């Protein structure tokens, strides 16, 4: 309980501790705290900015979506129109082609009919000749009567 | 009480209240004080080894811990220890900003040192009163007080240091004349100079005395009650020591806080140049 040299010893150590604290403890910690404060403020500002940007982006996205929908509708309308056109064109083409086929077929038929007629004519001529031969009882010289025969077959 | 057979209650109490003091005996030889008579013979030129060792040890613990954090302190996400240290530092910083209006880079670290060091010294009070003295006794050390703030030397050393800083900054900020003027020219003007000086002198001197005695008194009383509780039978001690220890946690921190706050306030007064007088 008595006062003694401990008083001085304590005073010296007290000032040494205070000095150490002032020199090596307080400034770095305060600096870290200040830095963190600045960092948090920056972070909050960045978050605000990000939020704002997101709002803008959302707005832009909405606009783009509307535009895209409009364009899509336009494209679909165009496509429908084009499809109708193609159908019409095809119909036209088909009709033309059909007609062409019919014409060709008709021409073929005519051609074949003519051919058949020619064959028939030739056979009739030869039959007539054969009949005439029998009737006349003698051979007709085909070369001598060729002109007459040709005339006759053309009349058939 | 472990060695209650060989000690009476008053001897036990006195034993617990004596520091481990090194000094010169009456016969001229140097050594440890064994009883109150030795202490009286040694007088001022002796030193309390236990107070010094525990105070400096706790101070070093504080410095080591805070320096460790200060070295690795970053603005990134703090770890547990850094978080705690930052919490303490911010608490001190807030107190200083709240009470200290001047600009002085010494005040905040001073407040931090005072708060943490005193809190640590006071916390030693929560160590059961017989643990360390018993171990010391087994090692042949007769006396051991482990709570440095129950030693008036320690509290007065801090209070006088603060008082010295108050005087230093009073003179530095107000000039020698200004400081003398503050002590002598009010409250009663220049015709009441002696009376003014007496009032202001008492006012000034009461600061370190009250600072030291408040802390010493609280901790000494707290320690005394722990010692008295330790006189109960061992199975009954917890009924009183537990509530008292829980209550004492409050006192430990409160006394450190009061010492720190008053230091800040006194230094603020020292920096405050009053111009309306």
Which ipTM value was assigned to this complex? 0.86
B244, B225 in Cβ contact below 8 A? yes
A140: left (phi over 0), alpha (psi -120 to 50) or beta: beta
pLDDT at A81: 96
Query: How far does B113 lie from chain A, in Å, by closest CA?
Result: 6
A37, B78 in Cβ contact below 8 A? no
List residues bridging with B24 in a β-sheet: B30
Q: Which of A21, A40, A42, A43 to mutate to test the interface with B (most CBs of B within 10 A)?
A: A21
Instruction: Give the model confidence (pLDDT) of B134-169 as tens digits.
Output: 888 888 777 888 899 999 999 999 999 999 999 999
Strands of the sheet with B21-24, listed across from one edge: B30-32, B21-24, B46-48
Query: How far does B117 lie from chain A, in Å, by closest CA?
Result: 9
Calpha distance A70→A82 (Å, rounded): 18
- Mean pLDDT of the B2-11 span: 64
Q: What share of chain A is helix, strand, coil (3-state, %, to 5)?
A: 90, 0, 10
Contacts of B72 (CB under 8 A, 6+ apart): B82
Please state, rounded to an integer, the average pLDDT across all residues of chain A.
Answer: 89
A2 domain-assigned: no
Share of chain A above pLDDT 70, in %: 93
B221 touches chain A (CB under 8 A): no
A64 domain-assigned: yes
B46 three-class SS: strand
pLDDT at A138: 63
Q: What is the domain partition of chain B in residue ranges?
A: 50-128+146-271
Concerning whether B210 is annotated as a catalytic residue, the answer is yes
- Pairwise CB contact (< 8 Å): A32 & B74: yes
pLDDT at B188: 78
Q: Which of B33, B48, B113 to mutate to test the interface with A (most CBs of A within 10 A)?
A: B113
Q: Maximum Cα–Cα distance for chain A, whole Å? A: 186
Please state, rounded to an integer, the average pLDDT across all residues of chain B.
Answer: 87
- Pairwise CB contact (< 8 Å): B66 & A3: no
A26 domain-assigned: no
In terms of CA atoms, which chain A residue is nearest residue B85? A29
In terms of CA atoms, which chain B residue is nearest residue A28? B70
Calpha distance B56→A15 (Å, rounded): 12
Q: What angle do CA B128, B132, B137 make, to 5 degrees?
A: 130
- Pairwise CB contact (< 8 Å): B48 & A17: no
Instruction: Say if residue A114's pLDDT is above 50.
Output: yes
Domain holding A124, by residue range, is 47-155
A1 domain-assigned: no
Concerning whether B218 is annotated as a catalytic residue, the answer is yes
Q: How many domains does chain A have?
A: 1
The residue from B48, B149, B218, B241 that is catalytic is B218
Calpha distance B219→B224 (Å, rounded): 8
- Pairwise CB contact (< 8 Å): B42 & A26: no
pLDDT at A141: 65
- Pairwise CB contact (< 8 Å): A17 & B63: yes
Calpha distance B248→B254 (Å, rounded): 9
Neighbour tally for B131: CB within 10 Å:
10
A5 domain-assigned: no
Calpha distance B176→A104 (Å, rounded): 135
Q: Among B208, B241, B231, B214, which residue's Cα sits nearest to residue B125? A: B241
Calpha distance B4→B7 (Å, rounded): 5
The string over A55-89, giving b where at least 16 C-beta atoms fall within 10 Å of a residue's C-beta and e elsewhere, is: eeeeeeeeeeeeeeeeeeeeeeeeeeeeeeeeeee
In terms of CA atoms, which chain B residue is nearest residue A4? B44
pLDDT grade, residue B1 (50/70/90)?
Answer: very low
pTM of the full structure: 0.74
Measured distance between the N- and C-terminal CA atoms of chain B, rounded to whole angstroms: 61
Q: What angle do CA B60, B61, B64 make, to 5 degrees?
A: 80
- Mean pLDDT of the A129-148 span: 73
pLDDT at B140: 78
B52 touches chain A (CB under 8 A): yes
Measured distance between the N- and C-terminal CA atoms of chain A, rounded to whole angstroms: 167
- Pairwise CB contact (< 8 Å): B112 & A21: yes
Q: Among B72, B107, B80, which residue's Cα sits nearest to residue B93? A: B107
- Pairwise CB contact (< 8 Å): B75 & A36: yes
A25, B70 in Cβ contact below 8 A? yes
Instruction: Give the model confidence (pLDDT) of B87-103 as tens digits.
Output: 999 999 999 999 998 88
A53 domain-assigned: yes
Query: How far does B49 lie from chain A, in Å, by closest CA?
Result: 8
Rg (CA), chain A: 59
């Amino acid at each position: 309980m008595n006062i003694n040299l401990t008083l001085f010893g304590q005073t010296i150590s007290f000032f040494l501790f205070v000095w150490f604290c002032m020199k090596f403890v307080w400034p770095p910690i305060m600096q870290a705290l200040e830095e963190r404060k600045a960092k948090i403020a920056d972070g909050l500002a960045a978050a605000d900015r990000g939020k704002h940007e997101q709002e803008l982006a959302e707005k832009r996205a909405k606009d783009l979506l509307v535009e895209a929908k409009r364009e899509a509708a336009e494209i679909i309308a165009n496509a429908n129109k084009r499809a109708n056109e193609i159908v019409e064109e095809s119909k036209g083409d088909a009709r033309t082609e059909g007609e062409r086929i019919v014409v060709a077929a008709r021409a073929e038929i005519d051609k074949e009919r003519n051919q058949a007629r020619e064959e028939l004519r030739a056979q009739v001529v030869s039959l007539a000749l054969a009949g005439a031969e029998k009737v006349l009882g003698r051979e007709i010289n085909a070369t001598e009567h060729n002109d007459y025969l040709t005339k006759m077959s053309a009349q058939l | 009480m472990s060695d209650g057979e060989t000690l009476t209650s008053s001897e036990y109490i006195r034993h617990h209240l004596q520091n481990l003091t090194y000094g010169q005996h009456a016969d001229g030889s140097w050594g440890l004080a064994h009883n109150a008579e030795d202490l009286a013979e040694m007088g001022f030129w002796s030193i309390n080894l236990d107070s010094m060792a525990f105070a400096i040890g706790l101070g070093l613990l504080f410095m080591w811990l805070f320096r460790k954090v200060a070295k690795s302190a970053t603005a990134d996400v703090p770890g547990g220890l850094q978080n705690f240290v930052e919490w303490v530092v911010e608490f001190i910083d807030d107190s200083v900003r709240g009470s200290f209006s001047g600009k002085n880079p010494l005040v905040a670290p001073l407040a931090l040192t005072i708060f943490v060091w005193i809190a640590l010294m006071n916390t030693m009070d929560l160590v059961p009163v017989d643990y360390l003295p018993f171990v010391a006794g087994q090692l042949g050390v007769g006396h051991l007080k482990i709570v440095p703030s129950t030693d008036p030397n320690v509290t007065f050393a801090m209070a006088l240091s603060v008082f010295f800083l108050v005087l230093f900054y009073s003179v530095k900020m107000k000039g020698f004349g200004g400081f003398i003027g503050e002590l002598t020219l009010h409250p009663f003007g220049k015709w009441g100079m002696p009376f003014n000086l007496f009032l202001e002198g008492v006012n000034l001197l009461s600061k370190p005395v009250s600072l030291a005695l408040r802390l010493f008194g609280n901790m000494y009383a707290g320690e005394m009650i722990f010692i008295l509780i330790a006189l109960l039978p061992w199975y009954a001690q917890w009924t009183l020591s537990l509530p008292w220890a829980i209550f004492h946690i409050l006192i430990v921190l409160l006394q450190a806080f009061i010492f720190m706050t008053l230091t800040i306030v006194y230094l603020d007064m020292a920096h405050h140049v009053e111009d309306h007088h």
